[in-house]
């Protein structure tokens, strides 16, 4: 990271500050365990200490293996150097299943606790799925109160240190950010580069002429400009690349800034929601209602 220390942000109710940039571990289409493990180890060498996984990604086991390997070879001295986030999958989003699901994720990760446990999606699925979209009949409303009580129990048991429930330059979520800021709720930007090359994302960020012009003027990449913009909004960021060069480039956003003119140009970008539940689970009535609310 060219000698620039990774900034951290404090989370309400969480013991450990979160490194501003985290590495996402989901691959689409899926890759084998060894590929994911090797990429995570390379990310640790590059300076990443915040890793985002989920039961649904199938990346908990390779992340756990990478952490064990990093400890064995001395890449890290202690598990406490890392900030690990995983998520409650919708098939387990039932009050009675929350704690067992968290324990299963910890077993996959070979860890005693995670730093942050999140509800993956605001719906419940009545069965396990192997592909999306899903049938309408397996989608149910989330029992928010009951599931949240299960999340609180995970924290009370010491299985996670923190609990919780998109933002990028072309879906800036200004109203949501202001709402959360007023209530002390921290936001993490996921898919901050638009999830290009997935069935739910697009290339509007990486191919934005506005961002490309700003990047060219500053001698940066378009991705760096997008990530710097998110950082300047006061959020933490989860970005994913298994490419060694881009891994490092994505960390090189802390020793320069966007100008007022740059920010104004970005603020004028056409806004359109990128990742929607409907693009993943299907255009079912309940899903469309949820998408319309955010």
Annotated binding site for substrate: 120
CA separation for the pair 194, 26 (Å, rounded): 14
Q: How many helices (H) and strands (E) does the chain have?
A: 11, 11
CA separation for the pair 68, 65 (Å, rounded): 5
Measured at the CA of 158, the angle between CA 156 and CA 161, to 5 degrees, comes to 90
Which of 28, 48, 57, 231 is labelled catalytic?
A: 57
CA separation for the pair 158, 20 (Å, rounded): 24
57 is catalytic: yes
DSSP letters of 108-142? HHT-S-BSEEEE-SSEEESS--SSSS--GGGEEE-
Give the max Cα distance, the chain.
54
Which residues form the catalytic set?
57
């Amino acid at each position: 990271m060219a000698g620039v220390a990774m900034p951290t942000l404090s989370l309400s109710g969480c013991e450990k500050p979160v490194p501003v940039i985290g590495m996402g571990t989901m691959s689409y289409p899926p890759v084998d365990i060894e590929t994911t493990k090797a990429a995570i180890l390379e990310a640790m060498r590059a300076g990443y200490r915040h890793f985002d996984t989920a039961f649904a990604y199938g990346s908990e086991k390779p992340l756990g293996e990478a952490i064990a390997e990093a400890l064995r070879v001395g890449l890290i001295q202690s598990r406490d150097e890392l900030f690990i986030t995983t998520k409650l999958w919708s098939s387990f989003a039932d009050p009675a299943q929350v704690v067992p699901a968290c324990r299963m994720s910890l077993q996959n990760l070979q860890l005693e606790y995670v730093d942050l446990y999140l509800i993956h999606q605001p719906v419940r699925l009545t069965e396990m799925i192997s592909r999306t979209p899903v049938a309408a009949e397996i989608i149910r409303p989330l029992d928010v109160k009951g599931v949240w009580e299960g999340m609180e129990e995970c924290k009370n048991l010491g299985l996670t240190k923190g609990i919780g429930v998109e933002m990028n330059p072309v879906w800036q979520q200004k109203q949501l950010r202001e709402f959360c800021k007023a209530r002390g709720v921290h936001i993490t930007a996921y898919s901050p580069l638009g999830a290009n090359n997935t069935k739910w994302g697009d290339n509007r960020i990486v191919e934005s002429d506005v961002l490309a012009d700003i990047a060219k003027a500053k001698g940066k990449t378009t991705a760096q400009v997008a990530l710097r913009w998110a950082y300047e909004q006061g959020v933490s960021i989860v970005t994913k690349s298994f490419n060694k060069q881009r891994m490092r480039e994505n960390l090189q956003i802390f020793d320069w800034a966007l100008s007022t003119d740059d920010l104004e140009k970005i603020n004028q970008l056409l806004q359109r929601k990128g990742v929607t539940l409907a693009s993943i689970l299907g255009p079912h009535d309940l899903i469309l209602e949820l998408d319309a609310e955010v």
